[in-house]
Amino acid sequence: DTGVSQDPRHKITKRGQNVTFRCDPISEHNRLYWYRQTLGQGPEFLTYFQNEAQLEKSRLLSDRFSAERPKGSFSTLEIQRTEQGDSAMYLCASSFPPQRNEQFFGPGTRLTVL
Amino acid sequence: GNSVTQMEGPVTLSEEAFLTINCTYTATGYPSLFWYVQYPGEGLQLLLKATKADDKGSNKGFEATYRKETTSFHLEKGSVQVSDSAVYFCALNRDDKIIFGKGTRLHILP
């Protein structure tokens, strides 16, 4: 097992375009999290899943953002009508009870909106 | 609300110097506390953790002690190396979400 993977690692898009990112968690982990990290800041929580159920969404997640985890394995994060303010690193993490307070992070997808 | 405050960087030290990065937190109850490290071009890695008061987390020569009375979790290392150059994040886990500080960039000179 190689840990949490994310694809793509980098994405450059024009304002107004839609983008989709993928996260593959560690195989036995049933919780999956999305965070956003802007330059010079720590990561901020966006949303998380337990299996296929989305349990919580942050206020940061506007209605242009949607996340899915259809089969309880990989997850996708879609941003519609991107804005320059969406430029950030999008991080995925996973965890497995009973050690669910420890989350393992992927390398992130860096989004640049021109 | 829950929050983490850590000393601002960048912090520049010479190799073999003693390191302290201060971290304090505000939280209800007794959260787990963490230090994560982000090396250039890499993802976040868990450096160490502590789950209850007076616990000491340690890894790779780094240590931090969960101090409930001062709500602190300061990171220390007795002798830093050039390879320790990275960004360090103090964090807490509350309600299954990790709340991070802003990060402290550490630069070690040979």
Residue in A with minimal Cα distance to B40 = A107
Cross-chain Cβ contact A42/B44 below 8 Å: no
**pLDDT at B14 (0 to 100):** 97
Q: In chain A, where does DSSP find H-type helix? A: none
Residue pair A28/A38 in contact (Cβ under 8 Å)? The answer is no
Per residue in B38-79, pLDDT tens? 998 888 999 999 999 999 999 999 999 999 999 999 999 999
Q: Does B86 reach chain A within 8 Å, measured CB to CB?
A: no
Tell which of B52, B97, B105 to mutate to test the A interface (max A CBs under 10 Å): B97
Chain B contact set for A55 (CB, 8 A): 96
pLDDT of amino acid A77: 97
Q: Nearest chain A residue to B92 by CA: give it.
A: A101
User: CB distance from B93 to chain A under 8 Å?
Assistant: yes
Cβ of A43 within 8 Å of Cβ of B98? The answer is yes
A-chain residue closest to B31, CA distance = A101
Least confident piece of the model among B13-22, B24-33, B53-62, B79-88? B24-33
Q: Are B99 and A101 inside 8 Å of each other by CB?
A: no
Task: Give yes or no for B85 touching A (CB within 8 A).
Answer: no
**CB proximity B103 to A under 8 Å:** yes
List, in order, residues 6 or more apart from A2 with CB less than 8 Å away.
none
- Among candidate residues B47, B61, B59, the one with its CA nearest the CA of residue B91: B47
All residues at 6 or more sequence positions from B96 whose CB lies less than 8 Å from its CB, including other chains: A31, A48, A55, A56, A100, A101
pLDDT digits (tens, 9 = 90+) for A3-35: 999 999 999 999 999 999 999 999 989 999 999
B46 in contact with chain A, both atoms CB, cutoff 8 A = yes
Query: b/e for B12-40, b at 16 or more Cβ within 10 A?
Result: ebeeeeebebebbbebeeebbbbbbbbee
Amino acid at the residue A26: I
How far is the alpha carbon of B78 from chain A, nearest alpha carbon, in Å? 25
Average pLDDT over residues B78-98: 94
- Mean pLDDT value of segment B13-35: 95
Interface test with A, best of B5, B46, B98 (most A CBs within 10 A): B98
